[in-house]
Amino acid sequence: MDLVSLSLKLAADAIIDVPPPKARHLMAARRAAGVDGVDLAMAEVIASQPAEIVIGLSAKNSLAGLDIATLTKPLPEKRAGPRLSELPGYGPAKFWVADLKADVENWREGKLRWSDVDKGILVGAPGTGKAFFAHALANELGFDFISTSVADWQGKQGGYLGATLAAMSASFEDAMSRRRAVLFIDELDSLGDRSRMRDDHSYYEGNVINRFLELTTHLFEQDGAVLVAATNRPHLIDPAVLRSGRLEEHVYLSLPDEMERADILSYHLDRALQTAELRRFTDDLRLATAADLERLARRAKRVARRRNGDVQVDDVQAALPARTPLPEEVLHRIAVHEAGHALAALASGFVGSVTVRIESHMTDGATVRDGGQVNFRMNDPCCLRKSSSSRISASNLVEWPQKRLSSALGRPALGDIRAATSIRRPGSPIALPAVMASASRCATSATLIAWTNPSLQRPTSGLRSMRF
């Protein structure tokens, strides 16, 4: 009865519990059907099987030659997939998931109302396994998993408004008809933003967004319903969708770190190789997403199959993608650009240490390609909390100067630095002449800048380092 929707139960005039058939029922059914009879021992074994086996063997014309031993063997346990707690990575989201799982357990025991449970989350970043995360979350909670996307809704019957709204409603109704379900919606940014829409699109997009908001409200009124949405472009989503009471929790699934990369690769290799053995490869794959590592594992398994053996370290080596070195002038430009972000962050007074990573090679076929990245540590410990507002503030600290820097891209190399250092909090201890001298040294080396504890420095293949 757990699979029957609540609406159907309420509509029924009577609910009759029909127990599974016994051996004598099977024997009588076969006689009535005019097929070969079956003895009591065989009938008892068949009656103890799941319904699919009972129905199939009851209608079979002849059971001659059927081996009873095959029926008495335990059936393999069906698994929908791994649980989130079994998967490596997903660090930022696992805090929220742990709290949700505890709340769900309390709700099941009647200790907590469903209205007190956080049940809406938006996850982002390309190639980090957002759909896999949602499915693993459903398995972790023991909930049904329903997957859809905005593109799927808009692809129904030519994308006419009525068809799109009907498809959207059907997905939500499917989730609400179940006692416990995780509804996953991919590419949520395709819904649009009412503040950005063109006048000739306002009727269509406005109706789609309004209907989504209405359905989300109804879904969260249903006990046991969790909504997970994914996007690579959260800034294109209507703010009403992301407000409190809807998709109020926002998690950025960043690229896996050194330990996570090795652990993810080991997981997809079915633990044939341990994490420590794989660090020699994954430490150089700094831009690899979870999807890239899964692909690498598939390629390594294919190499092992060609020689009819188990996966070995040499198979992983053979499966690694090719890496193309970047020209020196490109490295110089990347270094200057990233230094601008670093200096703007330091000049703000909120940041205590900054590390700029410059890539010397590009990995063929990688999901994420960039020439460098700025990492920094905040002076205020409160900024390190696992909250969406802290992450957004920290992200804007580095991304905001980029808008100012974009106008300097056509200038000489140090134009980026000069533009970046014009954005600074009053009283900042960073002086422009010292900054220019330091940045010039960095740009000439086209390498790594680090204002950080020397103990954090570790020589890494593909990077050249310089500290001052």
Beta carbons within 10 angstroms of residue 143's beta carbon:
20
Q: Parallel, antiparallel, or unpaired: how do β-strands 361-363 and 323-325 relate?
A: antiparallel
Asked whether 46 and 58 are in contact (CB, 8 A), the reply is yes
- d(C-alpha 128, C-alpha 253), whole Å: 6
Nearest to 186 by CA among 155, 224, 142: 155
Secondary structure, 3-state, 230-268:
EECCHHHCCHHHHCCCCCCEEEECCCCCHHHHHHHHHHH
From the candidates 44, 338, 359, 399, give the one annotated as an active-site residue.
338
Q: Which two tokens stand for residue 121?
A: 């989350």
Q: Which residue has the tokens 């001052």?
A: 468
DSSP string computed for 282-348: HTT-TT--HHHHHHHHHHHHHHHHHTTS---HHHHHHHSPPEEEPPHHHHHHHHHHHHHHHHHHHHT
Beta carbons within 10 angstroms of residue 411's beta carbon:
11
CA distances from 436 to 261, 339, 345, 349 (A): 36, 10, 15, 18
Active site residue 329: no
Asked whether 130 and 186 are in contact (CB, 8 A), the reply is yes
- d(C-alpha 357, C-alpha 338), whole Å: 8
Q: Which two tokens stand for residue 54?
A: 């009972």
CA distances from 276 to 74, 264, 287, 316 (A): 37, 12, 19, 14
- d(C-alpha 147, C-alpha 159), whole Å: 19
Q: How far apart are the first and last CA of the chain?
A: 69
Q: Which helix (H) or strand (E) holds 356?
A: strand 351-358
Nearest to 216 by CA among 201, 227, 206: 227
Q: Which residues are catalytic?
A: 338
